[in-house]
Amino acid sequence: MGSLLFFLPHRGNKVIRWYTLCICIIELLLITYAFSYHFQLDDPLIQLTEDYKWIDFFNFSWRLGIDGISIGPILLTGFITTLATLAAWPVTRECRLFHFLMLAMYSGQIGPFSSQDLLLFFMMWELELIPVYLLLSMWGGKKRLYSATKFFLYTAGSSAFLLMGILGVCLSGSNEPTLNFETLANQSYPVALEILFYIGFFIAFAVKSPIIPLHTWLPDTHGEAHYSTCMLLAGILLKMGAYGLVRINMELLPHAHSIFSPWLIIVGTIQIIYAASTSPGQRNLKKRIAYSSVSHMGFIIIGLGSISDTGLNGAILQIISHGFIGAALFFLAGTSYDRIRLVYLDEMGGMAITIPKIFTTFSILSMASLALPGMSGFVAELIVFWGILTSQKFLLMTKTLITFVMAIGIILTPIYSLSMLRQMFYGYRLFNAPNSYFVDSGPRELFLSICIFLPVIAIGIYPDFVFSLSVDKVEALLSNYFYP
């Protein structure tokens, strides 16, 4: 469908925008319909399957399907991509190519969540690499080529580890070589080999998640990308790495995951503290939000390392919650930049007087980011805390120490969030400037902000909706784990 964009009139930017938006809305409605009428919440097995032979020589199939872990990220992908397309309305340069790349990213991002064949998973994983590179290098900021090259090198390098891990898992099973997820989930490997595979997959997913010290591409990419691209990166791309850790590292390699789980919790805790401490030192608004994303992803790592029903469900809820909040903050940062043409926080100030609607929405969603009770971030982080405290894997003293350090990270979060709001919106710097009149949010931007805000509030008030998707699948997944 996206290829038809090149047959539309070259100067018909409005037609191209509406066509792309309609495709995204139709896709979202189809996903919602399939989920509402054909997905059984109490069935932990793969549903809505599609299985066709592709390459007989490799025993390679076009094999798709969803379960309780993948349905949430798929719905998130459809929702955020639709809103990102609407956010890209002001883009006029090379409009056809821009919107084609947005739709190509849609395919590349929804593919890994639904793939049930490892090689297909890898192909879909790679599919979004070129669109992101082009979107960043053609519509980015002043350092766009540096950021695009850095992104490409990091992600392409991590993909080599992913491919080696896939080939190793495929060829080293006890039965004949297979790429089928369901078959591989029932295979066992020697512990040393499983640890080797786990490390390879972990490096690949750690770059995308991102996990320190492999996170350095993220602030540069977010700092230079157009904000509609940032919405897709923060809302969906980072979640692909976390999903890969659940789907491959946890499900296919349970013994190695049990061995590495204490290290995951240590890395996740360090990540929360490090990113929350680094964020206040960022002058660039989007880089500050990017570091907050790195900090919040630490909770997902800790949830996965807890090896408990509560912790893993909390990690999945954090994947969904941060998808909404991260995308919203980058959108609002972009709309602010459209008006004042400033990226550095120490040059801003007094914006609350001139653009009160943006000030209000930015403040509310920043509160969601710092885990204000009643919003999705609070519930997700609380459930991860509870998952660590109730985990049978760790001693009480260890759990208490981890929880204490995580709490320090949560205390640091309001510092960088509130200081960001203070630098942007309070004071009189811009108000006293000669050109101090700016246009506030229009109907399109207000509609977009409200659309993201509603699920944040809904999940915060009634998180059981998200838990109902994943709870049975999580229970089935963790039945492979045994405690000493």
pLDDT at 3: 66
The more confident residue out of 5 and 397 is 397
Q: Is the confidence at residue 173, as pLDDT, over 70?
A: no
Q: Is the confidence at residue 280, as pLDDT, over 70?
A: yes
Q: Is the confidence at residue 178, as pLDDT, over 80?
A: no
pLDDT at 5: 66
pLDDT at 457: 92
pLDDT > 90: what percent of the chain? 5
Tokens representing 140? 């980015």
Coil/strand/helix, residue 311: helix
* Cβ–Cβ < 8 Å for 124, 115: yes
pLDDT > 70: what percent of the chain? 94
Number of other residues whose CB lies within 10 A of the CB of residue 129: 16
pLDDT band at 2 (very low <50, low <70, confident <90, very high): low
pLDDT at 277: 87
* Cβ–Cβ < 8 Å for 313, 365: no
Coil/strand/helix, residue 28: helix
Q: Mean pLDDT over residues 167-177, rounded?
A: 76
pLDDT at 324: 92
DSSP H or E run through 84 = helix 71-87
Coil/strand/helix, residue 284: strand
* Cβ–Cβ < 8 Å for 312, 478: yes
pLDDT in tens, 51-108: 788 777 667 778 888 888 888 899 999 899 999 988 888 877 777 888 888 888 888 8
Q: Is the confidence at residue 249, as pLDDT, over 80?
A: yes
Number of other residues whose CB lies within 10 A of the CB of residue 443: 7
Q: Mean pLDDT over residues 125-145, rounded?
A: 85
When the pLDDT of each residue in the chain is averaged and rounded to a whole number, the result is 84
Tokens representing 199? 């490390």
pLDDT at 9: 66
d(CA 244, CA 249): 7
Tokens representing 164? 């080696």
Domain positions in the chain: 2-428+438-482
Q: Is the confidence at residue 10, as pLDDT, over 70?
A: no
Q: Mean pLDDT over residues 12-32, rounded?
A: 85
Q: Is the confidence at residue 433, as pLDDT, over 70?
A: no
Single-letter code of the amino acid located at 96: R
Q: Mean pLDDT over residues 223-242, rounded?
A: 86
The more confident residue out of 7 and 434 is 7
pLDDT in tens, 316-360: 999 999 989 989 999 998 888 877 777 887 777 777 777 888 888
In sequence order, which residues have a C-beta less than 8 Å from that of residue 144 and are 6 or more positions away?
A: 136, 137, 138, 224, 225
Q: What share of the chain is helix, strand, coil (3-state, %, to 5)?
A: 75, 5, 20
DSSP H or E run through 342 = none
Supply the DSSP symbol for 368: H
Tokens representing 168? 């190793």
